[in-house]
Structure 1
């Protein structure tokens, strides 16, 4: 990460997932990165996106760490309690929709709320959140996947709104919603073939994209190739 100061500190949330693990591995190998903390539901401390109290405990635990110049939130879920994405309107279930919102939108927004004070000030910083192209309202041409699409669209709006506020105190901050591409992972395994990207390849591409983004005072929705995705 050439755009961050030498000796930058990084935090990866969702570090137990395929892409999260890849981010941790790559950042640990970056000589400009002084420290990398990877956290997940299984880590110590751990956190649960559906439990706001656990997010508050996480923030308290990190109060003595950082400040961070790079935070990557790689959390999220497509399959919830073994339920596949809804393909038709008549498959909608209130509980499943609420779970999708909790894990993919509300939880990440609360993570940002709790951990924003740990982001450095007066220098370039990056808050990056894995999103999904299917969260683009304009790009939706196939339908289906109601809960996942809606939760990612809600996530994108929350990030955009937060980015405008963050820029008032951190004008050098970059806030990004990232489309990692089709990656081999537990999340995507039921839906993709062998053509999917290796997680390390996806994470490396995303880090290069983040390195090249300029602060705009707004969130930026980009894919692993650096292409802008319509909201």
Structure 2
């Protein structure tokens, strides 16, 4: 898909570092962009199914979108950091992490997929390499890893269903790498992370390069296929 084929795009999580950078670059390419977040109009709260449904209904008249990107997610909060050991696990953090990283995106798939262009639509979800079971060598970060692994399965499963009725659509799970943001700031290596503008350009390049044969895949920002 070239920039010329893309006229409308939707960025969910458009107030975050990566989401806002993606939206800016799409606008620079003369793409009409709608961004959604808890502060947008309409607002979108990933922890509230009615909010997700109503936000999708509010955008029906602006569809179809050639691109929908889900760039929202959580790794840590002021009250909880990623769990380093089994003794750190507790229900509240598990529920919150899965609510935002997995259950919310599942509802986005349900309610926003009908707004996707049936002939050339692409829908991408920001996942994480640490959500790869096959690549897990260090352990730790229990709820974040598990929530992203579950997100990958949702994208893969949805792609199988979508292929039956909309074989030209492409659904992707993407690893953005370590990016300068509030998410990466507290961690080792965060200071050396890539700028959001660089990550956005790389992710958009990957999205444009993939074909329906790649739908349901898990890819890194450099285009490489990641293990499940």
TM range (shorter): over 0.9
Q: CA RMSD in A?
A: 1.3
Q: Please, which runs of 5 or more residues in structure 1 have no aligned partner? A: none
Counterpart Cα distance in 1 of 2:200 and 2:214: 24
Q: How many angstroms does 1:6 deviate by?
A: 3.2
Partner of 2:72: 75
Aligned pairs for 1:165-176 (under 5 A) are 165-176=161-172
Partner of 2:47: 50
TM-score normalised according to structure 1 size: 0.95
* Corresponding position: 1:180 with 2:179: no
Partner of 2:10: 11
**Kept in 1: contact 2:179–2:190 (CA 8 A):** no
Q: Please, which runs of 5 or more residues in structure 2 have no aligned partner? A: none
When the two structures are aligned, how many residues end up with a matched partner?
227
Partner of 1:101: 98
* Corresponding position: 1:88 with 2:80: no
TM-score normalised according to structure 2 size: 0.96
**Kept in 1: contact 2:71–2:125 (CA 8 A):** yes
From 181, 190, 195, the equivalent of 1:193 is 190
Secondary structure of the structure 1 residue equivalent to 2:192: coil
Q: How many angstroms does 1:218 deviate by?
A: 3.9
The CA deviation string for residues 33-65 of structure 1, in whole angstroms up to 9 with x for no partner, is 2x1111111111111111111111111111211
Q: How many angstroms does 1:194 deviate by?
A: 2.3
